[in-house]
């Protein structure tokens, strides 16, 4: 690779993960997110031999932690976590995030909310002016309510699709629920209002809008430089 060639997406994800690694200290209890960027972080934690324990946000993350011999905690075992680190599907300039592309949004939000500090690691292409246009908003619903919730969302102006495994059946989350992917042309005007409106729909378990939860974002660009962002700091 020449100096002029941009890094691959995977290399950029690793750069963001390694930047987050510097926030972790021995003895911490962590929230461990889901996805390929977090996988880089977990591998780096194991390589460095850090003495930490974590609450995984998905069965996939838990399995990888056990493979790496990282200590796993259940949410019932801890009152709060020192730090949670996770990826994001989109992030706006107020550091409101869209999550759930990997289907783990419910557990991810539970873990983020019980953490003293929540850090997002991603690549700079995830930063957008408005959420919900280029990447659909994931919404977890009980299977019984998928149809009624879909109709209400469409009345609201969303283009809604039930997430399926290719041409196969509906995707089932670790919690036994289904996922709706809702796209708003032009993006979501007010994520805080939208989160409350969606949450009030009977049958909705959780939506992928993470409002006022992200404390810090580490975003890697094409050269591997990591942009550090905090809410209200330009």
Per-position pLDDT tens, the chain of length 234 = 455 688 999 999 999 999 999 999 999 999 999 999 999 999 999 999 999 999 999 999 999 999 999 999 999 999 999 999 999 999 999 999 999 999 999 999 999 999 999 999 999 999 999 999 999 999 999 999 999 999 999 999 999 999 999 889 999 999 999 999 999 999 999 999 999 999 999 999 999 999 999 999 999 999 999 999 998 765
Catalytic hit among 108, 140, 195, 206? 108
Check residue 115 and report its DSSP letter. Answer: B
- Cα separation, 149 vs 142, in Å, equals 10
- Cα angle: 138, vertex 194, 57; to 5 degrees: 40
Domain with CATH 3.30.70.260 in the chain: 137-206
- Cα separation, 154 vs 37, in Å, equals 32
φ, ψ of residue 179 to 5 degrees: the values are -125, 135
The alpha-helical segments, DSSP class H, found in the chain are: 9-21, 36-48, 59-67, 105-113, 146-156, 191-199
Q: What is the pLDDT of residue 85?
A: 98
Is the Cβ–Cβ distance between 133 and 184 less than 8 Å? yes
Place of tokens 């991810």: 108
- Max alpha carbon distance in the chain (Å)? 54
Domain with CATH 3.40.50.1360 in the chain: 9-128+212-224
Q: What is the pLDDT of residue 102?
A: 95
Q: What is the pLDDT of residue 1?
A: 45
What is the value of pTM for the model shown? 0.94
**Catalytic residue flag (residue 222):** no
- Cα separation, 122 vs 14, in Å, equals 9
Burial class, 97, CB count within 10 angstroms (exposed 0-12 / middle 13-18 / buried 19+):
buried
Q: What is the pLDDT of residue 211?
A: 98
The SS3 assignment for 167 reads coil
b/e per residue 101-122 (b: at least 16 CB within 10 A): bbbbbbbbbbbbebbeebbbbb
- Cα separation, 35 vs 207, in Å, equals 18
- Cα separation, 100 vs 89, in Å, equals 7
- Cα separation, 6 vs 174, in Å, equals 36
Q: What fold, for 137-206?
A: Alpha-Beta Plaits (3.30.70)
Q: Which CATH number fits domain 9-128+212-224: 3.40.50.1360, 3.40.50.1980, 3.40.50.720, 3.10.450.50?
A: 3.40.50.1360
């Amino acid at each position: 690779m020449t100096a002029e060639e941009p890094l691959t997406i995977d290399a950029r994800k690793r750069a963001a993960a390694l930047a987050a690694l510097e926030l972790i200290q021995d003895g911490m209890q962590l929230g461990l997110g889901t996805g390929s960027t977090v996988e880089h972080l977990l591998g780096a934690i194991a390589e460095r031999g850090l003495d930490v324990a974590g609450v995984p946000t998905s069965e996939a993350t838990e399995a990888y932690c056990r493979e790496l011999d990282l200590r796993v905690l259940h949410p019932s075992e801890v009152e709060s976590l020192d730090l949670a680190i996770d990826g994001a599907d989109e992030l706006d300039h107020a550091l409101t995030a869209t999550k759930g592309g990997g289907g783990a949004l419910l557990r991810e939000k539970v873990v983020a909310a019980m953490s003293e500090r929540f850090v997002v690691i991603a690549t700079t292409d995830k930063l957008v002016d408005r959420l919900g246009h280029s990447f659909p908003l994931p919404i977890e619903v009980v299977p019984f309510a998928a149809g009624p919730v879909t109709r209400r969302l469409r009345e609201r102006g969303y283009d809604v699709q039930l997430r399926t495994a290719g041409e196969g059946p509906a995707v089932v989350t670790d919690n036994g629920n289904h996922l709706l992917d809702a796209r708003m042309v032009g993006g979501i005007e007010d994520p805080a209002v939208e989160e409350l409106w969606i949450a009030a729909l009977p049958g909705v378990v959780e939506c992928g809008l993470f409002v006022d939860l992200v404390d810090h974002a580490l975003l890697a660009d094409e050269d591997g430089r990591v942009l550090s962002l905090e809410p209200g700091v330009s």
